């Protein structure tokens, strides 16, 4: 009789290379820090050169392996070229995203195109570029998109944002089916409202804050730290059988 006990797969990311897009602020910073803490070498990508380089300095001062690569991921060709010139990334976290909220009757084509360009097109081809490099090298990988609870529900004044996040769920599922044979996992993380510099104006509105807290069953908004453990989990061997799905970090928003 085999008396050996199972052992929990490792959460350690030592020896892994990670790419974090949208790394210069908010959730992106949290994702980059979480991966570094778990031992990964992290490449930081964002448009803001100064902010990105300051973040790199802070992370290096902690003894972590961090490299800044100023880049606008909506420039698909430049993004593909950067990834092609690098060694394969074992881990991708795409935290680059935007929102322009308005009532559906007031949506402009300019807003629709801008949000779609980043949330759908840039994310799609970012996944593609990282996956191609992994497949060429015969390596497994974990690709994550920071999506939103709005990928599974609707929201007032958020039709365009919801549309793009629903779309990201669609390409995530399809890519996971195609790339599974290569042991490349593709998932999304779907947070509720997270307290960041970008969300301050929302929480400053008493009516909107009350509405948000009424929807979150845990009775509080999310903090950046609430996302960090999920990123390490999906990046690591502990989630080796998870692909083509979304991890909701919504405090119960979508439970009813």
Catalytic residue numbers read: 161
CA-nearest of 184, 186, 179 to 141 is 184
Q: Which residues pair with 94 in a beta bridge?
A: 21, 145
Task: Tell me the C-alpha to C-alpha distance, in Å, between residue 121 and each of 77, 113, 124.
Answer: 12, 10, 5
CA-nearest of 120, 21, 114 to 71 is 21
What is the SS3 assignment for 187? strand
Identify the H or E element spanning 241.
none
Query: Residue 234 and residue 11: Cα distance in Å, rounded?
Result: 9
Q: What are phi and psi of 2, to 5 degrees?
A: -80, 115
Give the rounded distance of the alpha carbon of 218 from its chain centre. 23
Cα dihedral across residues 110, 112, 117, 119: positive or negative: positive
DSSP codes joined into one string, 116-166:
HIIIIIIHHHHHHHHHHHHHHHT--EEEEEE--GGGTS--TTBHHHHHHHH
């Amino acid at each position: 009789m085999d008396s050996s006990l199972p052992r929990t797969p490792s959460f350690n990311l030592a020896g892994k290379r990670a790419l974090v897009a949208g790394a210069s602020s908010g959730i992106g910073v949290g994702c980059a820090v979480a991966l570094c803490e778990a031992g990964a070498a992290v490449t930081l990508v964002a448009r803001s050169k100064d902010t990105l380089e300051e973040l790199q300095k802070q992370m290096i001062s902690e003894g972590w392996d961090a490299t800044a690569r100023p880049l606008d991921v909506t420039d698909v060709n430049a993004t593909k070229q950067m990834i092609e010139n690098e060694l394969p990334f074992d881990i991708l976290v795409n935290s680059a995203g935007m929102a322009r909220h308005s009532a559906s009757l007031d949506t402009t084509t300019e807003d629709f195109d801008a949000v779609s360009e980043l949330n759908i097109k840039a994310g799609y081809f970012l996944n593609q570029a990282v996956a191609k490099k992994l497949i060429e090298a015969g390596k497994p990988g974990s690709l994550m998109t920071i999506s939103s609870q709005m990928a599974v529900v609707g929201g007032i004044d958020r039709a365009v944002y919801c549309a793009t996040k629903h779309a990201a769920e669609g390409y995530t599922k399809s890519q996971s089916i195609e790339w599974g044979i290569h042991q490349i996992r593709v998932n999304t993380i779907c947070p509720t409202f997270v307290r960041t510099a970008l969300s301050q104006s929302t929480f400053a509105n008493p009516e909107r804050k009350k509405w948000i807290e009424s929807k979150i069953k845990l009775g509080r908004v999310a903090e950046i730290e609430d996302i960090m453990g999920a990123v390490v989990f999906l990046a690591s061997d502990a989630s080796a059988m998870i692909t083509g799905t979304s991890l909701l970090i919504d405090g119960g928003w979508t439970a009813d």
